[in-house]
Structure 1
Amino acid sequence: MSGLRFLLVQILRFALYVGVHVLLISRLVLFDLGWCFFYLGFLLFLPIGTPIVVQLLLSFGLGLTIDIFYDTGGLHAAAAVLLGFLRPWVLRLLTPRDGYDSADSVNVHQMGWQWFGVYLALLVMLHHAAFFLLELGSFRHLGLTMGKMLVSALFTSLALLIVQLLFFPVRRGRS
């Protein structure tokens, strides 16, 4: 029964991240230079033990859903699949000395600020680089595109950090 519960929780998370992004967050733009890709929280905060095939399928489904809402022709799907592909590599790169526990999740309270900051910055920057370079289609306005990548990555990272601090449980050590 826990497998069905896990599936239902993930479907609810998917709908919540997409709904909040489409209905609220997508309207927030910083100086016509920064956009918040709030829906990435669904992929970034998946359980660490999620198999890569499942991550890739979820990434494609999420990206395609966002592409359907914004008529972006696969840009979100391509960048999200890249994020889903690179996530296990980044998790391996950041593996703690004792390794991950089977019950570990991506949680700033559990993994610590430094680990979470590096994890979030790496994956969000890689996603944004792919998205904005694909959107640009050339290297003609590279300076402006780099500015969009940086401001959007900071905006997205800050929004996802706030979500972590407000909605993810603080796990106390056993005493």
Structure 2
Amino acid sequence: MIYVGVYVLLVHRLVLFDLGWCFLYLGFLLFLPINTPIVMQLLLSFAMGLTIDIFYDTGGLHAAAAVGLGFVRPWVLRLLTPRDGYDSVDTVNVHQMGWQWFSVYLTLLVLLHHATFFLLELGSFRHLGLTGAKMLVSALFTSLTLLIVQLLFSPVRRGRQ
């Protein structure tokens, strides 16, 4: 609810050069605990995307892109599994997982979400250059914002045992 509230009341108005939008609500989906079941991820993704769609009358664009993110997230987590595996208490946290892991995770998933969202919004491949610029600038804007959120609000690294 906090992510939706902050996004709806404040962040959706932040636009960089008519190219970059910050989809802060993705933080809710990206920072779910690592061991969240896929069905729960998909349901939460759909609910979050549909809530944003209802506020902005976007006809399911946010829901479709968010469900795509929820579907791909377990594969990205498997791809990035540390040598020792994840602990049952691990969360997606820059302090706990490290800068390299977190930046790859964030970049992959935000770019996949934004590609889905902006290509669905476009509906064709006519203005692919402008759409590509929107994807990249928005992904950079969203990723930097979510990194700042992580640094400000996530607990500092605990020692692994």
Shorter chain as normaliser: what TM range? over 0.9
TM-score for the superposition, normalised by structure 2: 0.98
Measured in 1, the distance between the counterparts of 2:104 and 2:72 equals 14
Asked if 1:81 is matched to 2:34, the reply is: no
Residue 145 of structure 2 corresponds to which residue in structure 1?
159
Distance 2:156 2:66 in 1: 28
Normalised to the residue count of structure 1, the TM-score between the two structures is 0.91
Unaligned runs of 5+ in 2: none
Q: Identify the residue that residue 40 of structure 1 maps to in structure 2.
A: 26
Runs (4+) of structure 1 exceeding 3 A deviation are none
Three-state SS of the structure 1 residue aligned to 2:159 is: coil
What secondary structure sits across from 2:112 in the alignment? Answer: helix
Could you tell me how far apart the structure 1 residues matched to 2:159 and 2:93 are?
14
2: CA distance between counterparts of 1:140 and 1:57? 33
**Structure 1: 5+ residue stretches without partners:** 1-14
Q: Structure 2 CA distance, aligned partners of 1:22 and 1:141?
A: 28
* Counterpart among 46, 52, 56 of residue 60 in structure 1: 46
**1:125 and 2:106 are equivalent in the alignment:** no
Match of 2:7 in 1: 21
1:174 Cα offset (Å): 6.4
Which of 1 and 2 has higher RCO (CA within 8 Å, sep 6+)? 2
1:103 paired to 2:80: no
Identity, % of aligned pairs? 86
Q: Does 1:168 align with 2:154?
A: yes
> Is the partner of 2:81 in helix, strand or coil?
coil
Shift of 1:172: 3.4
1: CA distance between counterparts of 2:134 and 2:15? 11
RMSD (CA atoms): 1.0
- Residue by residue over 1:118-160, the C-alpha shift from the partner in whole angstroms, topping out at 9 and shown as x without a partner, is 0000000000000000000001100000000000000000000
